[in-house]
């Protein structure tokens, strides 16, 4: 990518807000996931990173950042579109850490379609829903029994949940579903003392963008925001730190927008 995304490698400074925390992050190999893993580690958390096997080299780079922060990094490759693999992620986290304090459902798939609805194949629709929604459901269901009061679930939604683009119709549908799931699950888990919130980023400069969008749209990506640019992953990660920490102990069922001034309406 050019320019390379900023994950906070040179800028993020931790203050022990997640000291001793055990976290699971899906899609932690790059982009927002890598920035969150780095921030969590520098705040004192051990991190399990879930990612597709073909992204091994990127995942290893993320693990190095976690290790450089003095924390444990666990790498679990595989496809979260498979329920069995989602259970394996949770089982591995429990085996390595003994518990799960924070689950970050961040992995997602999108593919831009200039011809909108008619360009979306059943295969693509299935992949988007399985990656973005089914996996979130499976991971939450598997992880909750291993989460104690005070634990947190953080789901990555999007500005697309509120302002859907026609070329990202299937992706936007899943992100709206994540908002609804977050609000409903937060009520379900109140009795367990587990908080559930979502971060809704606007345009963020990650590898997903040049990989799934036409070149002309990549060149202008983020320009529609009031701030006039896309975010760097490092600018989004602090929202996850806040929702994972006890600073947000009175916050559940909320959607925190990091959108460059676009409104969540």
Residue 215: the pLDDT is 80
* Amino acid 257: pLDDT: 98
- Per residue of the chain (265 residues), what is the pLDDT tens digit? 568 899 999 999 999 999 999 999 999 999 999 999 999 999 999 999 999 999 999 999 999 999 999 999 999 999 999 999 999 999 999 999 999 999 999 999 999 998 999 999 999 999 999 999 999 999 999 999 999 999 999 999 999 999 999 999 999 999 999 999 999 999 999 999 999 999 999 999 887 777 766 787 787 888 899 999 999 999 999 999 999 999 999 999 999 999 999 999 8
- Residue-range domain boundaries for the chain: 22-258
Domain 22-258 has CATH 3.40.50.720: yes
pLDDT at 74: 98
Indicate the SS3 state at residue 231. strand
To the query of whether residue 171 is one of the catalytic residues in this protein, the response is yes
Q: What is the pLDDT of residue 1?
A: 55
| Catalytic residue selected from 51, 109, 171, 240 | 171
pLDDT of residue 129: 98
- Give me the sheet containing 255-258, strands edge to edge: 73-77, 46-51, 22-26, 102-105, 152-156, 195-201, 255-258
Strand-pair category, 22-26 with 46-51: parallel
Query: Is residue 171 within 8 Å of residue 132, measured between CB atoms?
Result: yes
Cis upstream peptide for 84 (omega within 30°) = no
């Amino acid at each position: 990518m050019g320019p390379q995304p900023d994950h906070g490698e040179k800028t993020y400074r931790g203050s022990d807000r997640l000291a001793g925390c055990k976290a699971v992050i899906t899609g932690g190999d790059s982009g927002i996931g890598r920035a969150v893993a780095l921030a969590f580690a520098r705040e004192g958390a051990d991190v399990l990173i879930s990612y597709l096997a073909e992204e091994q080299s990127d995942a290893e780079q993320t693990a190095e950042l976690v290790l450089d922060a003095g924390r444990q990094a666990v790498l679990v490759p595989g496809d979260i579109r498979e329920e069995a693999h989602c259970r394996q992620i949770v089982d591995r986290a429990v085996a390595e850490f003994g518990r799960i304090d924070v689950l970050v459902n961040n992995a997602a798939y999108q593919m831009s379609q200039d011809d909108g609805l008619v360009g979306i194949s059943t295969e693509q629709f299935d992949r988007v829903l399985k990656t973005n929604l089914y996996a979130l459901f499976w991971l939450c269901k598997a992880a909750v029994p291993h989460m104690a009061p005070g634990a947190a679930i953080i789901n990555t939604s999007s500005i697309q949940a509120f302002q859907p683009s026609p070329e990202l119709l299937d992706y936007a549908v899943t992100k709206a579903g994540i908002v609804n799931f977050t609000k409903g699950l937060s009520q379900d888990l109140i009795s367990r003392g587990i908080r559930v919130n979502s971060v809704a980023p606007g345009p963020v400069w990650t590898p997903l963008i040049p990989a799934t969008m036409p070149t002309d749209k990549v060149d202008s990506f983020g320009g529609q925001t009031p701030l006039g640019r896309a975010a760097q992953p490092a600018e989004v990660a602090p929202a996850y730190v806040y929702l994972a920490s006890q600073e947000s102990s009175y916050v559940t069922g909320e959607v925190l927008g990091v959108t460059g001034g676009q409104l969540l309406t």
